[in-house]
Structure 1
Amino acid sequence: MSTQLVWFRNDLRLADHAALIAAAARGPVAALFVLDDETPGNWRLGAAQRWWLHHSLISLGRSIEQRGGRLLLRRGRAGPIVKAVAAELGAHVHTLIHHEPWAAVQVNEAGPVTQHLGVTLAPPESVLSGTGGRYRIFTPWWRKLLDQMPPPRPLPVPDLRWADVSRIASDELDQWQLLPTTPDWSGGFADWQPGEAGAAARLADFAHRAARYDAARNLPSVEGTSRLSPHLALGEVSPNTAWHVIADAVGEGVAEPYLRELGWRDFAANIIGQFPDHGDAPNREAFARFPFVDDPAGFGAWCKGQTGYPIVDAGMRQLWATGWMHNRVRMITASFLVKHQLIDWRHGERWFWDTLVDADYGSNAQGWQWVMGSGVDSSPFNRIFAPVGQSAKFDAAAYIRRWVPELAKLPDAAIHAPWEAGVALIRAGVKLGRDYPQPIVGHEAARARALAAWAQVKAGRSDDAMQ
């Protein structure tokens, strides 16, 4: 039987891995991962996800070694490297189907490759309307996806016979320098456990909390979300596994709000299949002439969590410290950047790409275009989140105290808008402008400016950015 080469990409697991299962049934297996910073172009992995990748590859390598194999590591343009390694081994290549626009380029350059399902719940191109077209709106797409659900139950790690790869060159992981050096900003990442075992532990933990997901997911002060997103982003757990573990734990009816979030990942893959430049260009043509403001200082304040709006600053500081941000707060911070500050959504998208451990091309672009209003299925531009109202509505006081400790002594009623706190600010010993910033923009003035910019776009004008 001939050697079978399994080309791992963002699917760093052994369980429920269709490419590995197919390869194991056909012959001895070799395993390869290629760090490709060339084919994705400007979408090479960001710094936070490179940290995650380092630890995930250690985990995958150990799992393979415990079963008698060896994970080959190479760095460079993936397609030609995979083709060369396959030729050295006399092997046929198996990989999972990925949906980023550069993934198909990699496969085409790799030569004969058998691709398998396993990154999404269903192939995005299989979810079609009655006329055979692709959906661009989530709700009807989700209903149609449900016709194919539940997905197949996950399969265990197959019995593996390993090919002899002792004479095949392999990089040392440390040579790739994926971890930060000086300064080391990853100290707050300690609570994460990258790798397949970490994903399983996270999923098991969430299964005990999943019944409360719908009630708690919008509350940043409580542990209401799954925190599975980084494990899903690098494929340490399959979406099929996540679906069945949670549905089995609480029943599909109770699990439906979370299962829809798994569906949102599939929908993002569906959208980038139709709009490969989704991360760089608005889906709606009118937004190509939006009068964004060039404001490096304002963008810097947003990145650092120094806008003077506690809920925004808490989110941005959580992101920097941990590589992750609560989803409700992601929407609030994104809305603040593009609508209060009128800064181009692509600047925020790139910041998230570099700082999120769960960065995903489709989901990240879909989220930002949804907030901007420029996506084919998005919130209207004139839906402008009021950060103070959102903070109070979703009971973010404890969240703010954790991430904006300057305000920790303020009572709940005052912490959402400290510039209105009056005597409570004095009692807390906080001086705005010294201990914590004044708001960099007023909400009502920012809202009026944003609506004026939108009116300008709808009128078909392309004036200079509004000042």
Structure 2
Amino acid sequence: MTSPQIVWLRRDLRMADQPALHAAAKAGPVVPVYVLDDDRAGDHAYGGASRVWLHHALESFGKSLGKRRSKIVLRKGDAPQVLASLADEVGAACIHAMRHYEPWWKIAEDELRDALGDGCKLCLYDGNYLLPPGSVTTGSGDPYKIYTPFSKAVLDVMPPRDVLPEPDTIHSPESWPDSDDLGDWGLLPTKPDWAGGIAAFWEFGEAAAHERLDRWVDEVGDYHEGRNLPSQDITSRLSPYLHWGEISPAQIWHKLKDKRSKGWQTFAKELIWRDYAQNVIDQFPDYPRESYRDYDERVLWRNPNAGHLIAQDFERWQRGMTGYPIVDAGMRQLWQTGWMHNRVRMIAASFLVKHLLIDWRFGEQWFWDTLVDADYGNNGVNWQWISGTGVDSNMFVRIMAPLSQSEKFDAAGYIREYVPELSDVSEGCIHDPPDDMRGDYPVKMIGHKEARERALSAYKAAKG
């Protein structure tokens, strides 16, 4: 029998169109391995909602492997050390892995390559994005920093590579190395179990991803207009499946590429935005931690760690108690389901950084902990876009008006679902209920006009 082949799994938990698994299955018996390495990512170790999804994703992928008489070996610890030791233990000829572009994984890949003995090599594959980050460049050969020309350049070379099928066979090694028990990792909350809403809202795994895509084929035509209407929610809800690699963007693109609707054209650009975010963190590894633009941030932002009143403002935003129904509906949906409608994400994020003037990094960290699709690149790029601090971002002086946004995009049904205190308020008043209709629902933390004037004044001072 040929030497075992290790497949190092991370956010690539699928059987089909998984180049690392495909190559390993052709080369010999396969040992799929997932290493839970919490220390390496520092403040971007998986948050609570991500850990819930990870548990279910590993469970689902393990069942898929079980149908092939294979399984996942689960280990905890420093990933390069664990993998190098495991390669010695099983006599592996190669460790196959999908490339990941978070800075800690790029470092880990280099460390693993150095740690392996002469008898084992590391083989890396692309396939989690439409194109490998850095492969689309400007006329001068530099990576793009601005989304629009990047998007046009990507569209010029679409469709992406062909989709790989599931491996025909996955041979098992003569003996299996020891594995942790998934339940012992404690990824699911217990005291209390706050994840019931996530489990009720989502189905997990590769099969669920493709079921969702099959439904989306019939809905994508309405996406251009419908994506902004939270009460109708004409969105794909594919983002967590893409993030965890339960489906690939190439699979989605090839499924939809023959559509001629404006909805598909708009959705295609959303897939390209995902690639754009990876290109940004490939160039600027600390982008989700450091503002790209040069402001006097001590003047611009209020820091919740600097005083209890600011901390209280931040907590009211987190809990969905700002007094702005559209903002609060979004924040409560996030807590309940691990996800928030995209239009509402923008409104809620803008409210934090411009109405409350709270540093965007606190919002980034909250979303990192509460989103099931929390992605290092997307999350950082989106927060810097809304805060006006990014390499390609909305201007700070463009301040979203939550009340008019709510009415414009017909959010009444969405508000009634997630802010039940207002369920009896009439259609004309629910976006901005008068005090005598609010009942137990809080008054606005700050008026929109006052918040706008304060934000513009702070921005002017921060610019010097």
Q: TM-score, normalised by structure 2?
A: 0.94
Once the two structures are TM-superposed, the CA of residue 167 in structure 1 deviates from its matched residue by: 4.3
Once the two structures are TM-superposed, the CA of residue 163 in structure 1 deviates from its matched residue by: 3.1
Once the two structures are TM-superposed, the CA of residue 214 in structure 1 deviates from its matched residue by: 0.8
**1:293 paired residue among 299, 302, 320:** 302
Aligned to 2:109: 107
Q: For 2:270 and 2:186, how far apart are their aligned partners in 1?
A: 33
Aligned to 1:42: 43
Q: How does 1:323-362 map to 2 (within 5 A)?
A: 323-362=338-377
Aligned to 1:410: 425
SS of the equivalent of 1:94 reads strand
Deviations 1:170-206 (A, max 9, x none): 1000110000111111111112111111111111111
Aligned to 1:313: 328
- Structure-2 change in CA distance of 1:179 and 1:387 (3 Å): same
RMSD after superposition: 1.3
SS of the equivalent of 2:111 reads helix
Once the two structures are TM-superposed, the CA of residue 160 in structure 1 deviates from its matched residue by: 2.4
Number of positions where the alignment pairs a residue of Structure 1 with one of Structure 2:
448
Deviations 1:303-357 (A, max 9, x none): 0000000000000000000000000000000000010001111111100000000
Aligned to 2:96: 94
2:224 touches 2:262 (CA, 8 Å); kept in 1? no
Q: For 1:149 and 1:290, how far apart are their aligned partners in 2?
A: 44
1:81 touches 1:110 (CA, 8 Å); kept in 2? no
> Is 1:442 the counterpart of 2:447 in the alignment?
yes
2:385 touches 2:393 (CA, 8 Å); kept in 1? yes
> Is 1:191 the counterpart of 2:214 in the alignment?
no
2:34 touches 2:75 (CA, 8 Å); kept in 1? yes
Tell me which amino acid in the other structure corresponds to 1:437.
P
> Is 1:139 the counterpart of 2:148 in the alignment?
yes
Q: For 1:30 and 1:216, how far apart are their aligned partners in 2?
A: 44
Deviations 1:95-120 (A, max 9, x none): 01111111111112222311001111
> Is 1:160 the counterpart of 2:169 in the alignment?
yes
SS of the equivalent of 1:354 reads helix
Aligned residues: percent identity? 50
**1:181 paired residue among 177, 185, 190:** 190
Aligned to 1:218: 228
Q: Which runs of 5+ in 2 are unaligned?
A: 114-120, 304-309
Once the two structures are TM-superposed, the CA of residue 230 in structure 1 deviates from its matched residue by: 0.6
Q: Which runs of 5+ in 1 are unaligned?
A: 460-467
Tell me which amino acid in the other structure corresponds to 1:103.
W
Once the two structures are TM-superposed, the CA of residue 254 in structure 1 deviates from its matched residue by: 4.8
Deviations 1:102-161 (A, max 9, x none): 111111222231100111100111110000111110000111112221102312101223
2:297 touches 2:462 (CA, 8 Å); kept in 1? no
**2:157 paired residue among 148, 157, 163:** 148
- Structure-2 change in CA distance of 1:317 and 1:253 (3 Å): closer
Deviations 1:1-35 (A, max 9, x none): 32211111100111000111111221221111111
Q: For 1:204 and 1:161, how far apart are their aligned partners in 2?
A: 27
Aligned to 1:233: 243
Runs of 4+ in 1 over 3 A off after TM superposition: 251-254, 287-290
Q: For 1:353 and 1:393, how far apart are their aligned partners in 2?
A: 29
Deviations 1:266-324 (A, max 9, x none): 00000001110011100112254443123100000000000000000000000000000
Q: For 1:254 and 1:352, how far apart are their aligned partners in 2?
A: 27
SS of the equivalent of 2:428 reads helix
2:34 touches 2:72 (CA, 8 Å); kept in 1? yes
SS of the equivalent of 2:59 reads helix
1:19 touches 1:94 (CA, 8 Å); kept in 2? yes
